[in-house]
Structures are given as C-alpha cells and as structure tokens.
Amino acid sequence: MSEEPTEVRADPAAPMCYRHPDRETHIRCQRCDRPICPDCMRSASVGFHCPDCVKEGARSTRQGRTAYGGRRPTSAAGATLGIIGINLVVFVLVLATGGAGSDLLDRLALLPADTLYRDGLQVVYVQGVSGGAWWQLVTSMFTHVQLWHIGFNMMALYFLGPELEMLLGRARYLALYLLSGLVGSAAVMWLSDPHQQTIGASGALFGLMAALLVVAVKVGGQVQALVGLIAVNVVITVLGVGYISWQGHLGGFVGGTVIGMILVYAPREHRTVWQVSGLAAIGVLTLAAVMVRMAVLA
C-alpha cells in the first residue's frame, strides 16, 4: 500500500535584530525581550542584553558610596587640587598687584570693621565686613601674601585633603572645608582686633585635622601621630601669637570637630537628611553670629 505524502509546512518568519532589520536571529535580550543579533548582544550574568539595556543599566546603577554616605570620588585628590589651584591663582594675583600693599589684598582679607589708616600723607579707607564686605569671610581663607605661608598651608592641605576626600566623598569634604573656614572667620570677627586683617587657609586646615581626628576615634584607629601633628600646630600658634591668628585656628578646629561628628555619627537611616540638616544648622548659626557682630561693629 502506498503512503500519501504529508504536507510540509514552512516555519514562521524568523525574527530580525531590532538594530539590524536584515539579520535573522533567535536570541533575545533578557531585559526587554527584543531580538538581537550576535553583533549586538552583550554578555550578562544571565543570558545576553541589548546595547540600549546595557546603557540604561549603567545610568541607573547606584554609584559606590563611602562609609559615611558620600559618593566615592573617581580620583582621591580632585577637590583638594582644585582648592590648591584657587589659592595659587589668588596668591599670584595679589603679588602681581602689589603684594602686601595690594588693593586686591584689602578687598580679599578679612577685616571685621571699616578701618582708616595713614599711609604717609594719605589717609586710606579700607572696607570691612561690618561695612558690607561680607565676601571677606570666604575670600580670606584663599588669600596669602608670604611664600612660606602659602607653601606650608598647601603642603598640609595636600597631605590631609585626599584622605578626607576619599573617606567622606567630594561634596561632604568641600562642605567640611568651607564651613570650618567660615566658623574660623566668625571667631576672628568676635575675638580679634576689629581693625586687623586676617588671611590664610589655616582655619579650614585646623577643621580638616579635627575632622580626621573624629574619624580616627570613630573607627578605633591609631590617633597618636595625628594628635602629635595637632599639638605641633598648637605650639606654633601659641609661639607666633603676635602674627598668627589663634582665633581663626581655634574657630576652625571647633567647627571641624562639630562638622566631623555630624558627618561621621549621623544615623545610617536617612543619613543624608541628618547630615544636610546638621551642616545647614552650623551654617545658619555661624552666619547669625557674624551678623550680630556686624551690628555691634557698625
């Protein structure tokens, strides 16, 4: 008995790569299920992904965080080198415009109250913070005149800064630096001669040393070397009390201690909210203290 031939049905049309419509493929993206050819497929932990899903995953993947909630910087010293660069630029500009006798220096240095002084036969007026030069609270911490001054401060910043930058993250590190310097400026406003100019990054640097000490205590690290460094700087400050601003150093150290504790001891749950709120409170209280002093000196 002869068998009747059976009808052979054609397979349905094979899917085509969504990026290359002329290429037949039986591979699909594990995320979006679109067909992808061998040139488009990207290996994943399970199966393959298409190029668009790989890009989207890279954008949405949470970046690494430091132990204290900051975004881990790609380079250890990016912000520190930026601060050093600003200090160097200001130093060159001050020297180029007259050094210790520069009009630019009078605008950038921290002077609590407006001051008149005699330069030969000429009476010179210099505007202070109480007279409206509020920017001096910040610009003074980036201003130096003597080479030894900027050299010592920038060397200290280069050694202290990158470690804190990696520990805290760039944004928190910059907040620590600027707020410590601002607290130092507020201390100068209240404790120093209101007609004496103050310049230098030392207040912010004392804040960095204080915050690093807070971190070392928190993690149970060796603190002897850091305490020794702080002690040496305190001795230098005391010995140079006639030309070194102990007020700025003290304010910066106190500010750095409080700021460091806010950043390091903030509860893990809602850590960023606690940190931002604490830093904002420090900033508001510092500015309030400055405004009260401005009113007294006006």
Helix-then-strand count for the chain, H and E:
10, 4
Q: Dump pLDDT digits (tens) for 228-245.
A: 999 999 999 999 888 899
Q: Where are the domains of the chain?
A: 14-49, 78-297
What letter does residue 242 receive in the DSSP assignment? Answer: T
Q: Which residues contact 250 (CB under 8 A, 6 or more apart)?
A: 184, 187, 191, 206
- Averaged over 203-215, what is the pLDDT? 96
pLDDT of amino acid 7? 46
Residue 172, φ and ψ in degrees, nearest 5: -65, -35
- Averaged over 275-286, what is the pLDDT? 98
The full length of the chain comes to: 298
**Mean pLDDT of all residues belonging to the chain:** 89
pLDDT of amino acid 1? 44
Residue 4 has pLDDT above 80, yes or no: no
- Which has the minimum average pLDDT: 17-21, 88-92, 193-197? 17-21
Q: Strands, E, within the chain: which ranges?
A: 42-43, 48-49, 115-119, 122-126
- The Cα–Cα gap between 137 and 290 comes to 9
- Averaged over 14-36, what is the pLDDT? 86
> Using an 8 Å Cβ cutoff, are 211 and 176 in contact?
yes
Residue 9's pLDDT band, with cuts at 50, 70 and 90, is very low
Quickly list DSSP for 15-58.
PB-SS-TT-B---B-TTT--B--TTT-EE-SSSEE-HHHHHHHH
Q: Which of 126, 94, 256, 279 is nearest to 187 (CA)?
A: 256
CATH class of segment(s) 78-297: mainly alpha
Residue 11 has pLDDT above 60, yes or no: no
pLDDT of amino acid 136? 98
pLDDT of amino acid 41? 85
- Averaged over 175-196, what is the pLDDT? 97
- The Cα–Cα gap between 293 and 130 comes to 8
pTM: 0.78
Residue 44 has pLDDT above 50, yes or no: yes
Identity of the amino acid at 23: R
Per-residue tokens: 126: 């210099």
> Using an 8 Å Cβ cutoff, are 77 and 162 in contact?
yes
Greater confidence (119 vs 229) lies with: 229
- The Cα–Cα gap between 286 and 183 comes to 6
pLDDT of amino acid 43? 78
